[in-house]
Amino acid sequence: MTVEPPIHLRVTRRFSASPERVFDAFLDPAKARQFMFATASGQMVRVEIDARVGGSYNFTDRRDGEDAEHTGEYLEIDRPRRLMFTLRQGSDVSRVIIEIVPLGTGCELTLTHEINAEWAEYAGRTKEGWTGILDGLAATLG
């Protein structure tokens, strides 16, 4: 049986905020609850972040009476330039890498989501989802 390599989805966005502010928002429960896996029609009912390598997170958004749970483990935390974590949705586990580089008084963030090849048909929706999350991060940071 041949295992297909993962698909690398990339989303890049520039922020006027410093790399530190952008990075820290991902690990601050009060800020992260406003944009990580949150939907306009849902209600974020659970946010837990154990911000250390090997630590876990849980974002649970209640959507139409059902809970959409996003969990994972932090694999790398290198403030303010790189954050890597797993993302578990049901039985599927993928990897997300966030890289931040200074750019003038702000920064540029590149998010790479390595999804399993079997989910290729959802690549477009997944990329749109991350774009929305980064839009939410921009709004959260002001």
Query: How crowded is residue 81: how many other Cβ atoms within 10 Å of its Cβ?
Result: 14
Looking at every residue in the chain, the average pLDDT score rounds to 94
Greater confidence (39 vs 126) lies with 126
**Which residues are CB-neighbours of 69 under 8 A, at least 6 positions away?**
46, 58, 59, 60, 89
Residue 9: predicted pLDDT: 97
User: What band does 91 get if pLDDT is binned at 50, 70 and 90?
Assistant: confident
7-141: CATH topology? Alpha-D-Glucose-1,6-Bisphosphate; Chain A, domain 4 (3.30.530)
Residue 1: predicted pLDDT: 55
Q: Which 8-state DSSP code applies to residue 39?
A: -
User: What band does 95 get if pLDDT is binned at 50, 70 and 90?
Assistant: very high
The whole-number average pLDDT for the span 67-82 is: 96
Residue 139: predicted pLDDT: 96
Q: Are 133 and 37 in contact (CB under 8 A)?
A: yes
Residue 62: predicted pLDDT: 93
The whole-number average pLDDT for the span 36-43 is: 85
Look at strands 82-89 and 92-103 and give their pairing.
antiparallel
Q: Are 46 and 36 in contact (CB under 8 A)?
A: no
Domain residue ranges of the chain, discontinuous segments joined by +: 7-141
Is pLDDT at 19 greater than 90 in this prediction? yes
Least confident of 49-53, 55-59, 75-79, 87-91: 87-91
Residue 42: predicted pLDDT: 84
Is pLDDT at 2 greater than 70 in this prediction? no
Q: Tell me the sheet residues that pair with 97.
A: 84, 112
